[in-house]
Structures are given as structure tokens and as C-alpha cells.
Structure 1
Amino acid sequence: MSHVDRIFLIGPMGAGKSTIGRRLAEQLGLSFVDLDAALEARTGVDIPRIFDIEGEAGFRRREADLLAELTEQPRICLATGGGAVLNETSQLNLSARGVVIYLRARVDTQLARTRQSDRPLLQGNDPRGRLEALLTERGPIYEALADITIDTEDGNPDRLARLLAERVQDTGLTDNG
């Protein structure tokens, strides 16, 4: 199966997957889908509520099921949640079905970008420690899955989307039309 028209964005929370993904999809003429937003639309409740009711395990099951479905859609730029890569089947679906782009961000950047959020994994007294632990756990998975890696530190989503569009086209991994 060809995967030239599917782009999957992975990386930690606050890396810019949704913001950059929207612009990248526009540049490449793809539909943009945010996995978390799609999950909220499907369930009718927000992510924190899913965590409250079903715990992280229940959330991850729902996330993996929806990711399996969405990674089969043509002409899509999919922004995944930071932990979507923890599921082995999801890892296989991402790597086999499209171009995987790792948006990398330092913990300081993540903290600044997520400080006003209600993200379940950041609730508690030590969000910095939590982000560091998550990056230690997930960073090697992001690196291993990525076809393209880019740092998002400068925070200019338009410039980063243009750069990624060029890199995707230069790799020959997409046909853009």
C-alpha cells in the first residue's frame, strides 16, 4: 500500500504538532486531523473526562483504535497525541502507512507552551519532572519512528511548516498530488 499522501506528526505535548500540522497540511493540500480533537468529537467528552472515567489505559485503547482508522485515510496530515507512540500496534501503523515527522522540543519550551492547559498528565506539583520523565520514556520511540526530525524551538509555525513541506517533497516520500 502506498503511503505517499499521509503525514503523521509525533512528539511531546507542546512541540507544535497541531499548530504546525494545520499549516503543513495546507502547504501540501492534505486534510488536517488532530487525533485528540477527533477522539473528543467521537466520544462527546474531553480528554480529561476520558481519563477520569476510564483511566489512562482506557484512553490509550480508544486512541490506538482511532489512530488505526485514521492512518488508513488518504491525503491526511495527522497530529498525534504525545503518548500515541506507546502502543506497539500504533507504532507499526504509523511507520508502515505514512511519513512520520518528529517535532522535537525542549522541556522548557514544552512547559511554556502547556502552562495554561488542563492536560491530565501535567496535573500535580511537578509538571517539569513529569515532562522530563515522559521525554525520557518516549524520546527514543519518537527518534526510532521518525522519517524526518525537526526542532520547533524557534516557534515560527509558518516557517517550520514551509521547511517541512520542502523536506517531505525532497525525500520523495510524498507525491503532493
Structure 2
Amino acid sequence: MDVEDSQLSTGEIEAMARRIDRPVVLVGMMGVGKSSVGKRLATLFHWPFVDADDEIERAAQMSIPEIFATHGEAYFRDGERRVIARLIQQEGPNGSGARRVIATGGGAFVNPETRSLILERAIAVWLDSDIDTLIERTARKDNRPLLQQGDPRETLTRLRDERREAYAQAPIHVVSGSGPHGRTIAKVLQGIGQWL
């Protein structure tokens, strides 16, 4: 479902959070705002936020660029799949079940096994954006191994085209523009409300 702007009260957001019995997993291209939106969504829900990339780095005791350079992308994707599976299935604090917000790396949802697990055990939200916004946002960090070679616009356009079919399997589709993340979060909340 594609989602438009909406505003919910704090009480409505808290009631929604209580109705959800699984993690909310944000998927989409690098630079789309999964971590920024995820942190704010987790705060609204009073849930933990987990960035899968941070967890992968912690488990490997290496940065993602180091993992790519030392072991290659296939090794990274295998570790990513295992970490996301653990995060989805892991019980939360105080018997809260697996209720948390998880931001995944851009390629995670492309893996059929990871995608199947997310679709079965979580609420998948595809954050989407135009190429210009992705270029502007990804230029802020130099820790994106897939953008280290060649023209970033070309690479982002190719990856977005290749991954679109996988991302489109997420039940909630939200377009994140260049404006404030508050608008994107309102759309995510509306999408989750419709999913429930």
C-alpha cells in the first residue's frame, strides 16, 4: 500500500504500538533514511531501535568497509542474514517479545531467505526515495563500499532498479522526500495502522 501524510495523536501512536506483536523492519536503498526514521519511530513506540549494520560490525569486530575489503560482499551478506534473523527472533527486554524497530542495510531485503523471514515474522516498511535525494544523503558518509567505485549516481540508479522488485514485496511503501523526516514518519505510522 502507498501511504499519504497523516497525523496521529500520542495516545493513538501508543495504542498502535501496544497492538503490534512483532518487529517493524525498515527496508530500502542506502541513504533513504532508515536509521533516522527508525530511531524516531522507536522513540514514539517506546521500543528499542537496532541498526542491523551496527550489529554486523559488532559481531564481526570490523567496519562494513573492512568486511567488504577483507572477505567480500558474499561473506558480508551471509553475516547480515544471520544477524537480521537473530534480531527478528530475539526476545526483547521485560518480556516485550520481539517488539523493536530494525533498520536494515540496503541489500538485506534482496536476499530471498532474509526477505522471507522479514515478511513472515515482522512488519516490513519499504522506504523509497528519488535518486537525487539518495545521492545527496549518501554523499554525507564515506562508509558505503558499493559507492566507492565508479559514479555514485550510476551505481545508485542501477541498484535501485535491480532491487525494486524485492523492495516492492514489503506490504507498506512510503516515499521519503528531501523534506523533514517527520513527514515520512507520519506516513509510516499511517501505513502500519492500515496494515494492522
> TM-score, normalised to structure 2's length?
0.82
For 1:101, the equivalent position in structure 2 comes to 125
For residue 135 of structure 1, the aligned residue among 150, 153, 160 is 160
For 1:175, the equivalent position in structure 2 comes to none
For 2:115, the equivalent position in structure 1 comes to 91
Larger Rg: 2
Does residue 120 (structure 1) correspond to residue 145 (structure 2)? The answer is yes
In 1: Cα distance, 2:175 partner to 2:159 partner: 17
Deviations 1:54-77 (A, max 9, x none): 100110011011111111131111
In structure 1, stretches of 5+ residues that fail to align are 173-177
For residue 63 of structure 2, the aligned residue among 34, 37, 46 is 46
Does residue 159 (structure 1) correspond to residue 183 (structure 2)? The answer is yes
1:125 corresponds to which letter in structure 2?
G
Does residue 56 (structure 1) correspond to residue 73 (structure 2)? The answer is yes
* Deviation, structure 1 residue 165: 2.2
* Deviation, structure 1 residue 147: 1.4
> TM-score, normalised to structure 1's length?
0.90
Task: Quote the sequence identity (%).
Answer: 36
In 2: Cα distance, 1:143 partner to 1:30 partner: 26
2:135 corresponds to which letter in structure 1?
L
Asked if the contact 1:102/1:149 (under 8 Å) is kept, the reply is yes
- Pairing 1:67-82 to 2, within 5 Å after superposition: 67-73=84-90, 74-82=98-106
In 1: Cα distance, 2:125 partner to 2:181 partner: 14
1:29 corresponds to which letter in structure 2?
H
For 2:47, the equivalent position in structure 1 comes to 30
* Deviation, structure 1 residue 41: 1.5
Runs of 4+ residues over 2 Å off in structure 1: none
Note closer, same or farther for the CA distance 1:46–1:4 as it changes in structure 2 (3 Å cut).
same
In 2: Cα distance, 1:154 partner to 1:133 partner: 21
My pick for the range that moved more, 91-100 or 66-75, is 66-75
2:36 corresponds to which letter in structure 1?
T
